[in-house]
Structure 1
């Protein structure tokens, strides 16, 4: 994905490390709308810099970290992502091309560390809070190419931030292959590596996905794999980092 950098007076937008809140056409908020939301005490974040309304962006401070919220009215909306995977919609997903977007991304002062887990966790928590308070119809997580229903996104993020499993079906994607194996997409934003889980003969796809979710949670907790070793709690799974690229092979033992 491309890296968009505005002038020194505006926000730095890192599409790869950002998240988009998607609205029905005409419902995208303004800086005034967001200021009222934050002033109402509905968020732990606060506005740390507010340029002229027509510039269409705000700087937010959350947990000591700054994030740029861009694409606000009356300025142009942020580009609307075209998701590859959708999760959590009770009925059909919305027509994404008909929506408008605002984007949240790490600010200029922390842009170099946008892949660090504390930054990503804070970004996810900030987006989850806004997804429930604003009239958001979908949330797009850029690094995984995913889009989620707002309530689903908020639930999986809050569960993760509360000590639960990493939300591998949302902040990453798990993609089955014709041979029955499952590969991650977007996990490298958290660990620097993607993985591919070997198929097992006769295993139902749902069971393979469950194992892949465990693998994703282990890798996010463990960090990048630099040597081969077993997957803790993985029922005989063994991880082997590839000698080429950023892939970890997950094999079955026994």
Structure 2
């Protein structure tokens, strides 16, 4: 029954705990209480090791809680705010996904905001070592995630360095995970000599603009707040080439 309910719903995130530190559903229920929390649904009927979380009329499933078997560790190639010796392989994972009625809607911003709010609240769970945001294959400290998402939920810019990855290479900066929201990733081409701090600022502002405005299907100039104009040109249906003006 559990496998059937999860069909077609890839996890959005994984919560990584120290060995034998995964919380039980009771600990999640205790944390849920409060104005910034959520409700636990069908607690007595839920399969062991799972919890159905409700906030703002939307439901999400948390699986892999103790004493159920741990979830598979997700791929995570980008690291943020973690020590150099941090090792995911030594940790145990739980998985977080949208509820059955939201299947196919997980990329919509209203759903994503509620998911982020619940995950931010879950960063208070004892023993939590890291959070993986799976669309971007990024693993980060709970404190980093909570701060970045908190600013967004309070009306600030989209958390480009928590819900996407911005990867520097010799010629520029590439996004990963933005396509989950807009259907397009971008390559920001640096002017000369490789990407610098200003290019990083542009990439963050550009991510926020694209999340707000959606797909770009024709070449255009966009003026980004605080960093100036960029030229955006589609390269096929799923990629954008971007150059500072």
* Deviations, residues 111-156 of structure 1 (Å, cap 9, x unaligned): 1211111111111111011112433110000000001100110000
What's 1:241 paired with?
A: 234
Tell me how large the CA RMSD over aligned residues is. Answer: 2.1
Task: Pick one of 132, 135, 138 that aligns with 1:140.
Answer: 132
Aligned length: 243
Q: Mean alpha-carbon deviation: is it higher for 123-132 or for 137-146?
A: 123-132
Instruction: Report deviation, 1:190.
Output: 1.6
Please state if 1:7 is matched with 2:35.
Answer: no
Q: Structure 1 residues 11, 34: CA separation in 2 closer, same or farther (over 3 Å shift)?
A: farther
What's 1:21 paired with?
A: 15
**Aligned pairs (5 A) from 1:180-219:** 180-202=171-193, 205-219=196-210
Task: Pick one of 25, 28, 32 that aligns with 2:26.
Answer: 32
Contact 1:86 1:93 in 2 (8 A): no
* Deviations, residues 148-184 of structure 1 (Å, cap 9, x unaligned): 1001100000101112122211211111222x21110
Q: Which runs of 5+ in 2 are unaligned?
A: none
Contact 1:42 1:133 in 2 (8 A): no
Contact 2:230 2:244 in 1 (8 A): yes
**Aligned pairs (5 A) from 1:95-110:** 95-110=87-102
Contact 2:172 2:194 in 1 (8 A): no
Please state if 1:150 is matched with 2:109.
Answer: no
What's 1:117 paired with?
A: 109
What's 2:77 paired with?
A: 84
TM-score (norm 1): 0.88
TM-score (norm 2): 0.91
Contact 1:82 1:96 in 2 (8 A): no
SS at match of 2:216: coil
Q: Mean alpha-carbon deviation: is it higher for 70-79 or for 221-230?
A: 221-230
* Deviations, residues 78-129 of structure 1 (Å, cap 9, x unaligned): 111231111122x335210110111111011001211111111111111011
Q: State the alpha-carbon separation in 2 of the partners of residues 146 and 221 from structure 1.
A: 21
